[in-house]
Structure 1
Amino acid sequence: KYIMKNIAFVGTGYVADYYMRTLENYPDLRLVGVWDRDSQRLPVFCRFYKIRPYDSLEALLSDREVDIVINLTTPESHFEINRAALEAGKHVYCEKPLAMSLEEARILIALAAERKLVICGAPANALSDAFQLTRKQLDGGTLGKPTLVYAEMEDGPVFMSNWQKWKSRSGAPWPGVHEFEIGCTLEHAGYALSWLVGLFGPVERMSAFSALTFPDKGKETRKLKLAPDFSVGCLVFRSGVVARLTCGLAAPRDRSMTILGEKGMLTVRDLWDNRSPVNLAAHYQRSLLQKVVDGIESRLGRRLPFRLYKGRTIPYPAAAQAAKLPAYPSQIDFMRGIQKQAEAIQSGQAPFFSGQVLLHLTELVLNLHAGAHDYQLTTSFEASEA
């Protein structure tokens, strides 16, 4: 039986290099070719990686050799390209968000179901080793019943950095202006939401707030309409868990998640790290080092200028082979989602981040971005799918 392994990229911008770096982890996946609407960027990318360029999107979609189309274009192009790929009979893996409206997302999910195709969505960080280690602790009852979660997706004040000179491995500039126009919530909240939904199931209701707190992000942006650069949402899950998620472009970088349960707490230090340190404080006990630091702070009458994670660091099982990952801070195995999709298609099963789960995540991120108050989710999925 033929294995779904032939893929093609639509889009060769900054994020495409992350996918190329992690493609090395999956020798069964074969990149047939790529296309980009930027006629100057496309040949540069193809020369760098020695990949075949397509002459047009139509040429890529009509290539019978291609099984899965990887949509790495800008968010406002996602819907049209996803739809075109599905109509051409291709499975689709799309960078976040799936679409810029819930109505468009519903059309895509329905079209995929109608054509018996699989459409999956990024990000892949909830398929990480860190996620599996966390899931194992929860399933083992170490924390007891989880009740409250604090998730951070703060990227730091990147607009105050020298971002204009940031380039990918193959020379693509970081699309800072465009990211400021789209907004950090649509770009980044999925990294935390995918973990939350993967661990705790569907959200029933939420209340959110978003705002543009730094309207001046440099001369390149002063004539543009910028999206919110801060959002915070409180989520109530069907399972009873309550979570607070912040997402921003100003507060110091923090991509951690803290899970509080009846019997203890667990902290994942960095959701962008495939093997992030994970700390467990069973029964909320402090380590010896924590007790020493607490004593020093008590005597000094002030906090020490560093963060000390409570509990012990949980060891990972030995890896058969270390995954090749992008440089810090994006140490995510970007291609793992596509590998999982290909395996699921082969086995006839639905990948987790597809179908109703993907639609649910899209509704969450869109309403977090919009700052929706007292919002009742209209999408859901069976917890057994998690």
Structure 2
Amino acid sequence: MGDAHRIGVVGLGVISRAYLDTLVGHPAVRITAVADLDASRSAAVAAEFPGVRALSVEELLSSPDVDTVLNLTVPAAHAEIALGAIGHGKNVYGEKPLTAGLAEAHAVLEAAAKAGVGVGCAPDTVLGTGVQTARAAVAAGSIGRPQFASAVMVTPGHERWHPHPDFYYTDGGGPLLDMGPYYLASLVHLLGPVRAVTGAAGRLRAERVIGSGPRTGERIPVGVDTHVSGVLEHADGTLTTLTTSFDGVATTAAPIEVHGETGTLAVPDPNRFDGEVRLFELGAAEWRTLPVSAGYVDGARGLGLLDFVAADGRRPPRASGELALHVLETMSALLRSAAEGRRIELTTSAQPPVAVPLTAAGKWRADAALR
């Protein structure tokens, strides 16, 4: 099986702990280095794990002991770190969105292709049993031919729980670029790529109030739209109505519903790896929950990176840069459509990745070569 793939982690904020919990000790990978703008934070993390070095960002990007850079920085820094890693001949796997802007994303993928290295990107929640069981049901014809879908995400804003939420309200943030990737990646898995969009957007408040942590009560400016709605035209003609908002309190809508000629499928929260998939068939009296039939059981953040490493030329990685680019263009086009008041056709596409067979937690957590 060879030596474990060496990972260097850049950015040690809130989400890094979930990745470390998954990756440390997995036979396919070895965390060799960590870096953060706060040197004390990287030193503290390195001290927890034998064999992990605390480096500066530049030292990590150039380190011969790193094969892939795990980029967990804020969206505004995604492109800079990715291009730095690629410039040193390293693969890069990052948090979503791929970059804060579309031009930067194209630059990252073009640089990677020229350098002969790989690019992967979250979300990897779509590889869990929730979305994958729903995908299997659609593929099996459980709802007949899909006609249309809806996707809804409503929260009052991340500043209520995140101690440093500033980046959610700057370029690369907002409900669409922050949460939209979960929904759009799921929709590509379920219904295929998007060919055109029409959008509308707005922001209801000029500032937000931090609700937790040492900065509780501090006001931060809002520089992005906080409510975005739109219609997605999929390549096969299926239509999806999408709503993402930081301006509501709650919703009773299912996160995703796919409506077909003979049934409706309710898909669980795509920000989770699991959840019930429910089916209401034409002529039935009630919803029924489908048995889990596909996906990585008990998935966790970092699973997409393990899948990325395991692909290694045998198959395309499921959480790929190409899919992330298509998702980013879809989101960028929605915002542009809202600003310009017109329908916009996309220039990118991405086929649904290879479906994930039902894989027990004990299997993917112990196997260096995921299927």
Give the TM-score category using the shorter length.
Answer: 0.7 to 0.9
Aligned twin of 1:367: 333
Uncovered stretches (5+) of structure 1, i.e. residues with no partner: 167-173, 288-310, 324-331
1:157 Cα deviation from its structure 2 partner = 4.4
Letter of the aligned partner of 1:338 in structure 2? L
Alpha-carbon separation, structure 1, partners of 2:13 and 2:98: 18
SS of equivalent residue, structure 2 residue 39: coil
1:23 Cα deviation from its structure 2 partner = 2.4
Q: Which moved more, 1:57-66 or 1:10-19?
A: 57-66
Alignment equivalent of 2:304, drawn from 331, 334, 337: 337
Q: Which moved more, 1:276-285 or 1:140-149?
A: 276-285
Maintained 8 Å contact 1:6/1:29: yes
- 2:202 corresponds to 1:235: no
- 2:250 corresponds to 1:250: no
Bigger radius of gyration among the two: 1
Alignment equivalent of 1:378, drawn from 318, 331, 347: 347
Aligned twin of 1:220: 218
SS of equivalent residue, structure 2 residue 208: coil
Alpha-carbon separation, structure 2, partners of 1:286 and 1:250: 35
Sort the Cα spacing of 1:3 and 1:280 in 2 relative to 1 into closer, same or farther, 3 A: farther
- 2:121 corresponds to 1:118: no
Aligned twin of 2:258: 259
Uncovered stretches (5+) of structure 2, i.e. residues with no partner: 210-216, 356-371
Maintained 8 Å contact 2:127/2:295: no
State how 1:1-386 maps to structure 2 within 5 Å.
Answer: 2=2, 5-23=5-23, 26-48=26-48, 52-159=52-159, 161=160, 163=161, 174-181=163-170, 182-218=173-209, 220-222=218-220, 224-253=221-250, 256-283=255-282, 285-287=284-286, 311-316=287-292, 323=298, 333-345=300-312, 347-370=313-336, 371=338, 373-382=342-351
Sort the Cα spacing of 1:185 and 1:193 in 2 relative to 1 into closer, same or farther, 3 A: same
Maintained 8 Å contact 1:177/1:220: no
Alpha-carbon separation, structure 1, partners of 2:351 and 2:64: 35
SS of equivalent residue, structure 1 residue 41: helix
Aligned twin of 2:358: none
Alpha-carbon separation, structure 1, partners of 2:295 and 2:258: 25
Maintained 8 Å contact 2:316/2:353: no
Maintained 8 Å contact 1:79/1:104: yes
Sort the Cα spacing of 1:4 and 1:197 in 2 relative to 1 into closer, same or farther, 3 A: farther
Aligned twin of 1:292: none
Q: Which moved more, 1:79-88 or 1:213-222?
A: 213-222
1:355 Cα deviation from its structure 2 partner = 4.3
The TM-score with structure 2 as length reference comes to 0.84
The TM-score with structure 1 as length reference comes to 0.81
Letter of the aligned partner of 2:218 in structure 1? E
Give aligned-pair identity as a percent: 28
Alpha-carbon separation, structure 2, partners of 1:114 and 1:385: 25
Maintained 8 Å contact 2:75/2:97: yes
1:315 Cα deviation from its structure 2 partner = 1.7
Alpha-carbon separation, structure 2, partners of 1:197 and 1:259: 12
1:195 Cα deviation from its structure 2 partner = 0.3
Alpha-carbon separation, structure 1, partners of 2:236 and 2:317: 21
Letter of the aligned partner of 1:380 in structure 2? S
Sort the Cα spacing of 1:36 and 1:158 in 2 relative to 1 into closer, same or farther, 3 A: closer
Deviations 1:85-125 (CA, angstroms, capped at 9, x unpaired): 01111111011111222211111111111222110111111
Alpha-carbon separation, structure 2, partners of 1:30 and 1:253: 41
Aligned length: 341
Q: Which moved more, 1:272-281 or 1:24-33?
A: 24-33
Sort the Cα spacing of 1:339 and 1:286 in 2 relative to 1 into closer, same or farther, 3 A: same
1:136 Cα deviation from its structure 2 partner = 1.0
SS of equivalent residue, structure 2 residue 96: coil
1:250 Cα deviation from its structure 2 partner = 2.7
